[in-house]
Amino acid sequence: MALWLVRAGKRGEQEEFALNNRVAVIGWDDLPDLSQVQTREELYNLLEETYPEIQRKALLSWLSQIWPFVREMQQGDLVALPSKRRPVVYFGRVKGPYVYNPNNPEGAKHTRPVEWFKEIPRDRIDRDILYSLGAFMTVCRIQRNNAEERVVRLLEGKSPEKIKNEEKKEGEGYPADLEEYALDLIRQHIARKFKGHRLAYLVEAILQAEGYFTYRSPEGPDGGVDILAGRGPLGFDEPRLAVQVKSGDAPVGGPELNQLRGAMGKLNARVGLFVSWGGFKGAAEKEKAQSFFEIRLWDANDLIQALLANYERLPDDIQAEIPLKRIWILLPGEEEG
């Protein structure tokens, strides 16, 4: 049984479609139905005909991704889909052969049926596996350091096996998305250092860095609000925020948002901020646009972006607990379809 990374668009454009329709998808929409392609040479010639302006090196990279998706994946293989919307990785099992669906949306015409059965927060996945899952590829097999066996144990809820350091296998020498990997490390660090009510302390520090005067509730029952924040020297000026912070891994939904709305009314706060480390359920996700001028929703990714934007203005003790350094890297060339 193999473990495959299969993305759903560079920015997760087809993530919701893939999950809702129980498929894995890739791009390269200009290619026709590939079900009758029998050899790698035949596929390469088709790529060359379809994309005459693309250099040979890029075509070979595309070949190394499309061919496994069409021909090498087997029923029962595991598929990992790193989410671009939430700090989780979705896992599924391949349920059948390659299928071409010309009526599917852009970026989702080449498919594999997949039974998506589990999501795992990124901060629960070992760093080396996250690094492999950060490859700048649409499709590749994840094998290094006995990753396949370790992921199976993780999915079964068992303790991880000892890492077997291995040589790179074919197909795993691709550059990784170092930004994504760095964010994973920051996410794991925050999850470890700011458990429970301490996450509210971090959120308060970020709001103070943004110019808010704040009050943070003591640890314990909070009536639906962890932090009150307002502008001005004493916090009396608008906007006045009621902030709820959930540090657990489970996504929150409508009832929790309604609790915050109720608290906002009692506290005369016109706007709210809900910070959920575990993200939000589907219904709450759909409310993002409807509640845009009433409640903002921050998941772990949003919180980290706010942290990075305000890092230099955070208190010394926060910077000491989350020691970061800004660096510059050269981006790799285009490798995805």
Render each residue's pLDDT in the chain as its tens digit; 337 residues.
899 999 998 888 999 999 999 999 999 999 999 999 999 999 999 999 999 999 999 999 999 999 999 999 999 999 999 998 888 899 999 999 999 999 999 999 999 999 999 999 888 899 899 989 988 889 999 999 999 999 999 999 887 666 655 544 444 555 567 888 888 899 999 999 999 999 999 999 999 999 999 999 988 776 679 999 999 988 899 999 999 999 988 888 888 999 999 999 999 899 999 999 988 887 777 777 778 889 999 999 999 999 999 999 999 999 999 999 988 877 665 444 4
Rounded CA-CA distance 254/263 in Å is 14
pTM value? 0.73
Burial 139-151 (b: 16+ CB within 10 A, else e): bbbbbbbebbebb
Rounded CA-CA distance 308/18 in Å is 31
> Which residue spans of the chain are classified as CATH 3.40.1350.10?
192-321
The pLDDT assigned to 333 comes to 58
CATH class, range 3-176: alpha beta
The pLDDT assigned to 275 comes to 95
* CATH T-level assignment (fold) for domain 192-321: Trna Endonuclease; Chain: A, domain 1 (3.40.1350)
> Which residue spans of the chain are classified as CATH 3.10.590?
3-176
The pLDDT assigned to 159 comes to 72
Name the DSSP class of 87: S
Cβ(226)–Cβ(217) below 8 Å? yes
Which of 271, 274, 331, 325 lies closest to 300, judged by CA?
274
Rounded CA-CA distance 125/101 in Å is 33
Which helix or strand (DSSP H or E) is residue 26 part of?
Answer: strand 23-26
